[in-house]
Structures are given as structure tokens and as C-alpha cells.
Amino acid sequence: MVENLKVIDVFRFSFGLLNRKDQKIIILLSIVSFIGSFIELAAVMSILPFVSLLYNPELIQKNQFLNFIWIFFNEPNYQKFLLILAILISFFLIFSAVLVYFIQFTSNRFAGKCQESYGIKLFNSLLGVNYEWHIRQNPTLLMTIFISHISIWNRGLIRQIPLLVSNLTLILLPSISLILISPRYGVILIFLGIILVSIFLRFIRKKSDYLSRKAKTSQEEVSVYINEILQAIKDVKLSSNSKIFVKKFKSIYHIFSMYLSKASSWNMLPTSVIILFSQLSILSIGTFLVAIGVSPENIISIMTVVILFASKVIPSLNRIGATLTAISNKRSWIKTLNDIYIDTRERQEFKTELDIKKFNWSKVSFKDVSYEYPLAARKALKNINLNLYSGYHYGFVGESGSGKSTLIDLFLGLLSPSDGLITVDGKELNNLGVENWQFNIGYVPQKPLIINVTLKENIAFGTNPQLIDEERINECIKLAALEDLVESLPNGINSDLGDRGKYLSGGQEQRVAIARALYQRPNVLIFDESTSFQDSKNENLIRKSINNLKGEITILSISHKFSFIKNCDRVFVLKKGELVEQFNYQEFLKESKYYKESTNYLEDID
């Protein structure tokens, strides 16, 4: 559970998401940050001899360090020596500032590369995970992982590790100095400081964690709702009641905004308290020194040291407090990122070591195949037995939910049978290499994805734009009856189709998908309700084109339109997950109970 996840676990998870090379680099950057902070602190403390020399010129002779510099520069007079010392300290401070900036710049650049590297790795992992996992996920929530979670991991953890080491160094070295100067009081002060900070952070952690978890949950709700509304924008507009959608959005967005603002307010609390505590401590030290009768010269010297230390220690304390609070708040984000990484890594599909290539086959057999979706009340398919031969045209019909699409998904290798076997020429499908098998198949879905690129690139989906075969594009356009679309576009096949094909009709989208499926010259072509939006003219053109391919490729058609399966060699009827009938088309018209029930129903409607 997130509630029991410790901050150290967040670091462990975050470190584990890096590859070995990046793990070594971040350790090296942490070491360099430690050295840089040591130099930065030394540069700041180099101001102390200069300040001391301002009110006590005799230090030139008494202080070995100052005396060495004075002799090195041929014993200049007091004013000239102050100028020389100021120039040396200035160069040291500039060098320190440039070094620290370079370390931070390098750390930020490294963090950016880590974000890029992990984002690519996770995206590749998402594409490699089995299809069954994807159908259980919410795509919008997966999208937020790339938009927010990875960025939070990078910004809140990877960038902060070298900075955390740097800030700890800026606190550790002064603390060691304090112990060396006054062991008893130094240990007591540091011990009390650690206890007070721990109690304070523990006090705010519970409330801060609660607010952050709520902010994360409400952010996901907002993302999902916006995506749903934009996907259904036509329905929203036609409902003539947009106020209801605005009202709901206002409600969930208000919750998100309030939790986010409250979490931010709690995150600011450590910084405010540390600054107040530090300021009161400086006043208390000064008052205490006066009360015990310390001379003004020594008070100036001591307070100079205190203020110089404070100029580095207080900001470092602030940054450490803010970092630890932010890390604590983002534990749920990091845990989700870690969980999705582990889950996708464990569910990667078997990848064949062979080159992906087409191969010839003669027969695909389903032998007592059943399939049950996770958490489903009943099996989607039950004891399916059928043979499909290369070069034939097969039709699958049945009511919605009868198992047609599930059967096709099994044929595609997207799903694996819960029981039974699917074989290709006697060899189990999974052993052939699913990628090899899928490379043979052109698939036309009912609702195709049209991306915001040119018509040419949409047809050659997944092909490098420089390697697109325009001659093949034109062949596919003709086969899919897309000539009218090409003529209507301003730049022909080089015209952009808009986001999700917003410039196309439903029928045109389906014909683009048909052309896409044909482009790779598959030896299996699958239509999944792929002509539902076509008018009779275009459907006839597509059917004639497909019939011309009969014998050359195997065709599987799912359709509620009996006209589209009229040229099938075999028609399979499914009902409640079972294969109840199979005929050639003429037998189907004469003997099929499903056909008779369907036509009688249509006649009753008429």
C-alpha cells in the first residue's frame, strides 16, 4: 500500500528504474556534487579572513594563512593587501559559482536524458505487453503516466539526488566544524536540531500525504472526463445541454484544484518554519554572546561565521525539507510508475528470435478452443472446432456478443485460448512466433484509427515516410474505392487528414483502413464489420475488388450485412460463444436458422 511506503523505498524504486549505466552516472554526479559543495562552502568561508582583517590589521602577522599570502606578494602595505585579498577571494567565489552551476547543469541534462530513456523504454514495454492486459486498462490513465508520472519521477527524484547530496554536504561540513570547535554544545545542538526536524516533518507528513493522494486521484478523474467529453463532442453538442457537462467538470476540477492548493500550502510549511527558526537562532546567539560578556571584536568575528554559515545552511535546510516533503507527497505517483513498469515487464509477449517475414500456410485449425475474459461471468467462446484453408473466403455471423470478434482476436494471436489449441499446419500458433504470424495479416477494424498525417502515410501506416511505395499506394486506393476522396483533397495523397480523421466521413475512414490493410500485401485479410458505414455503391465496389483477390489471399469477414458475405466459401454462425452452424453461402440462405430468424425479424419490422 502507498500509505506504508517509506521515503527510502521511493529512492529505491526510482534508482531501480534507471539502467546500470545511468545508476553509475548518478552516483558519480553525487560524488561530484559533494566536492562542488565543499568548494562552494570553502569559497564562502574565505570571506571570513577578509572581514577579520578589516577590523584587526595585526592578523597579517598572527594568521599563518594571511601571512603566507602577504609574503607571497612581497609584503605589500595594508590597503594594497586588502585589495589583493579581495581579488583572490572574488576569483575563488566566481570559480565556485561557475563550478556549482556546471554541476547543476550537467545534473539537469542527465535527468532529462533519464526521462527520455525511461519514457522510451516504458513506451516500448507498453507496445510489447500482451493484448489482454491492454483491454483491461484505461488508455487515458496510461497517457497520464507519460505526461505527469515520468516527469514527477524525473523532476522530483532524479534531479534532486545530486542536489540533495550537495545540500547535505553544506549542512554536514558546518556541523562537523561546530563539533570540532565545541564538542559538547555542538553535539547537543545538532542532536536537538535533528529531533525537532524529524518531529516536525512527521507531523506534517500524514496530512500532506493524504492531500497528495487525493490530488493524484482527482487529476486522473479530470483527465478521463476531459478525454471522454472530447471523444463524444458531437453527442455533447447535440444534447443541447452542455451546462450539465460543465457543471460536472466544475465539480471535479474544483476538487482537484483545492487538493492541489492545500497540498502546496502544506509543502511550504517546512520552509517557513526553518527560516523562522534560523532567524530566531541568530538573534539568540547574538544576545547570548552579549549576555556572557564577549568582547565586541569577538562578537563580530563569531557572528560573521554564524551569518556566513547561515547563508548556506539555511537555504540548504529549506531545500532538503522541501525535497523530502515533495518526495513524500509523490510516493503514490512513484509507486504507480514502479508498478506499471514491473507489470508490463512481466507480461511481455514472447518474441521470436527469427526475422519477421511472411510465410505460406495451408490450414489453420481450432481444436476445442475456449476463451474466458478475466473477471467475466461466462466464457466468450466454448469448444470451438473449425478448419480454415488458405485462399478461401470465410464469413462469420451472429448476434452482438456471440463471440465473433473474440474468435478473430484468437486467430490474430492477440489472445491465447483458455483451453484448446490453435494450430497452423499442425504447429501450435504461439510456437510459430506471433509476430511472424501477424505480419501475414491485414486487419480492417470497424472503427479505424486515422492519425493526423497525410493520406499516403495513413495508408502506409508504420512505414518510414521516405520508404513509402507510391505505386502500391495508388493500387490500394483503387482497390478500396478511394479515388473520389483523393480527387476531393487539395493535395491528393499528400493531404493531411486531420486529428482522428476529422475531415473524413465514417465510410471514408473505413476505406482508408481497407487500403492500409492491403498495402503490405497480406496473405490473410480480415474485415471486422468494416463496411458498416458504406453506401451500397461503395460496398459493391469494395466487394468486387476483394473478390478479385479471392484465391490469392485468405479472407475472413465479420458482418451483419448478408450482402457482404454472399461470395464466401463458408459461413460460420456463432451464438452465445458456440459455433452452432456452418454452411456454404447457398446452404446458409436455405437452411440457416439464424438467417431465417434475421430475415423474419426484418420483415416484421417492415
Residue type, position 73, single letter: F
Model confidence at 41: pLDDT above 60? yes
Tell me the pLDDT band of 430, cut-offs 50, 70 and 90.
Answer: confident
Tally of CA atoms within 13 A in the half-sphere of 575 that contains its CB: 9
CB 320 within 8 A of CB 160: no
- Whole-number pLDDT of residue 312: 67
State the average pLDDT over residues 276-293: 75
Cα gap 281→190, rounded to integer Å: 13
Place of cell 452542455: 242
CB 327 within 8 A of CB 157: yes
pLDDT in tens, 448-464: 878 888 889 889 887 88
Tell me the pLDDT band of 605, cut-offs 50, 70 and 90.
Answer: very low
Say whether 446-521 and 2-346 share the same fold. Answer: no
Cα gap 32→531, rounded to integer Å: 64
- Whole-number pLDDT of residue 168: 80
Region for residue 442 given its phi and psi (left: phi exceeds 0; alpha: psi -120 to 50; beta: otherwise): beta
pLDDT in tens, 176-223: 766 766 676 667 767 776 777 677 667 766 777 777 778 778 877 887
Tally of CA atoms within 13 A in the half-sphere of 315 that contains its CB: 10
Report which of residues 407 and 275 the model is more confident about: 407
Cα gap 218→495, rounded to integer Å: 40
CATH class of 356-440+528-534+555-606: alpha beta
Q: How far apart are the first and last CA of the chain?
A: 59
Q: Across-strand partners of 394?
A: 556, 570
Cα gap 106→587, rounded to integer Å: 74
Where in the chain are the domains? Answer: 2-346, 356-440+528-534+555-606, 446-521
Cα gap 575→577, rounded to integer Å: 5
Report the share of the chain in percent with pLDDT over 90: 8
CB 261 within 8 A of CB 230: no
- Cell readout for 54 is 578589516
Entry pTM:
0.69
- The CATH number of domain 2-346, selected from 3.30.450.20, 1.10.580.10, 1.20.1560.10, 3.20.10.10: 1.20.1560.10
- Whole-number pLDDT of residue 586: 85
Report the share of the chain in percent with pLDDT over 70: 83
Provide the CATH number for the domain formed by 446-521 in this structure. Answer: 3.40.50.300
Instruction: Please report, for residues 63, 179, 284, 402, the alpha-carbon distance to residue 185 in angstroms, rounded to integers and kept in the order given.
Output: 26, 7, 15, 81
* CA-angle at 592, arms to 591 and 595, nearest 5°: 125
Q: Across-strand partners of 364?
A: 388, 424
CB 511 within 8 A of CB 531: no
Tell me the pLDDT band of 115, cut-offs 50, 70 and 90.
Answer: confident
Positive or negative, the CA dihedral 80, 82, 87, 88 is positive
- 3-state SS of 84-144 is HHHHHHHHHHHHHHHHHHHHHHHHHHHHHHHHHHHHHHHHHHHHHECHHHHCCCCHHHHHH
Tell me the pLDDT band of 389, cut-offs 50, 70 and 90.
Answer: very high
Closest CA to 391 of 566, 563, 549: 549
- Cell readout for 80 is 594594497
Residues with Cβ within 8 Å of 420's Cβ and at least 6 positions away in sequence, in order, are 366, 367, 368, 369, 370, 383, 384
Cα gap 422→419, rounded to integer Å: 10
- Whole-number pLDDT of residue 181: 63
Residue 387, phi then psi, degrees to nearest 5: -120, 135
Residue type, position 312, single letter: K
Q: How many helices (H) and strands (E) does the chain have?
A: 25, 10
Closest CA to 311 of 26, 27, 51: 51
Closest CA to 498 of 439, 448, 454, 542: 454
Residues with Cβ within 8 Å of 353's Cβ and at least 6 positions away in sequence, in order, are none
Model confidence at 601: pLDDT above 80? no
Model confidence at 528: pLDDT above 70? yes
- Whole-number pLDDT of residue 513: 87
Report which of residues 471 and 208 the model is more confident about: 471
Report which of residues 218 and 389 the model is more confident about: 389
Cα gap 192→186, rounded to integer Å: 10
**Lowest mean pLDDT across 223-237, 474-488, 546-560, 574-588:** 223-237
- Whole-number pLDDT of residue 94: 92
pLDDT in tens, 494-524: 888 877 777 787 778 888 888 888 888 888 9
- Cell readout for 44 is 564562502
pLDDT in tens, 142-183: 887 877 788 878 877 788 788 888 878 777 777 776 676 667
CB 293 within 8 A of CB 261: no
Closest CA to 400 of 231, 585, 559, 606: 559
